């Protein structure tokens, strides 16, 4: 896995400007409606997608960037943020009700993505959500990332595909693909 610290430091510094209250509300409402009590965002950055979760949830975030994690810890003191990678999540099997990514998987190389999918499946207790830029053949977007087709990544796992649709632009302006899975 390539990790460009300079790129991700800059990304973290700019992350606050990316706060999308509609997406944060959507994620919180979805996890709540599914009767989840714990949530993990992988690649949480500064925690902008976790900010609306109430303290009745066990809130976890994983990221590789120290700068982003410092901001997240300051903004959401009730959450548990850890430095870590998607390929080695520091959680027990099936221990988190709702595991999600938002615009992270587009930045991973194929090998890291495959290992990350396996780790998401391992730690998820009930649901997995991916919201990523989508294109069927996963062509490159630019030198840093590529489109993802997460449906094809999940078909060999014991999951039920609950949803596989484009997000409405009012919730996710970049029109990412939303996939929700129920772990079987």
Q: Which residues, including other chains, have CB under 8 Å from residue 107's CB and lie 6 or more apart? A: 43, 144, 145
Confidence of residue 160 (pLDDT cuts 50, 70, 90): very high
Range of the domain at 162: 5-183
Q: Which residues, including other chains, have CB under 8 Å from residue 142's CB and lie 6 or more apart? A: none
Please check the confidence at residue 157 and state whether its pLDDT lies above 90.
yes
Q: Which residues, including other chains, have CB under 8 Å from residue 118's CB and lie 6 or more apart? A: none
- Average pLDDT over every residue of 168-177: 81
CA–CA separation, 99 and 15 (whole Å): 20
**Per residue in 14-72, pLDDT tens?**
767 777 889 999 999 999 999 999 999 999 999 999 999 999 999 999 999 998 999 99
pLDDT at 11: 67
**In CATH, what number is assigned to the domain containing residue 37?**
3.40.50.150
**Helix (H) or strand (E) segment spanning residue 160:** strand 159-166
Confidence of residue 141 (pLDDT cuts 50, 70, 90): confident
- Average pLDDT over every residue of 153-171: 92
pLDDT, mean over the chain: 91
Which tokens sit at 54? 């109430």
- Give how many domains the chain has, as a whole number: 1
Backbone angles phi and psi of 107, in degrees to 5: -95, -5
Sheet holding 124-132, edge to edge: 80-83, 58-63, 38-42, 96-102, 124-132, 177-183, 159-166
Residue with tokens 């901001």: 71
Of 15-24, 59-68, 119-128, 171-180, give the range with the top mean pLDDT: 119-128
Q: Which of 50, 44, 55 is nearest to 23 (CA)?
A: 50
Residues 79 and 72: beta-carbon distance below 8 Å:
yes
Alpha helices (H) along the chain: 5-15, 21-33, 66-75, 110-123, 150-154
């Amino acid at each position: 896995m390539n990790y460009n610290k300079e790129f991700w430091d800059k990304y973290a510094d700019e992350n606050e400007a990316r706060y999308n209250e509609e997406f944060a509300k959507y994620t919180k409402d979805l996890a709540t409606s599914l009767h989840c009590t714990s949530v993990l965002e992988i690649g949480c950055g500064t925690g902008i997608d976790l900010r609306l979760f109430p303290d009745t949830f066990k809130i976890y975030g994983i990221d590789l960037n120290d700068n982003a994690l410092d901001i997240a810890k300051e903004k959401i003191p009730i959450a548990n943020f850890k430095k870590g990678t998607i390929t080695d999540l520091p959680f027990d099997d099936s221990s988190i009700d709702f595991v999600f990514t938002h615009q992270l998987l587009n930045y991973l190389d194929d090998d890291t993505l495959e290992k990350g999918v396996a780790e998401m499946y391992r730690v998820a207790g009930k649901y997995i959500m991916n919201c990523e830029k989508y294109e069927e053949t996963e062509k490159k977007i630019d030198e840093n990332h590529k489109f993802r087709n997460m449906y094809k990544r999940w078909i060999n796992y014991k999951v039920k595909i609950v949803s596989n649709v484009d997000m409405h632009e009012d919730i996710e302006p970049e029109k990412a693909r939303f996939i929700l899975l129920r772990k079987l």
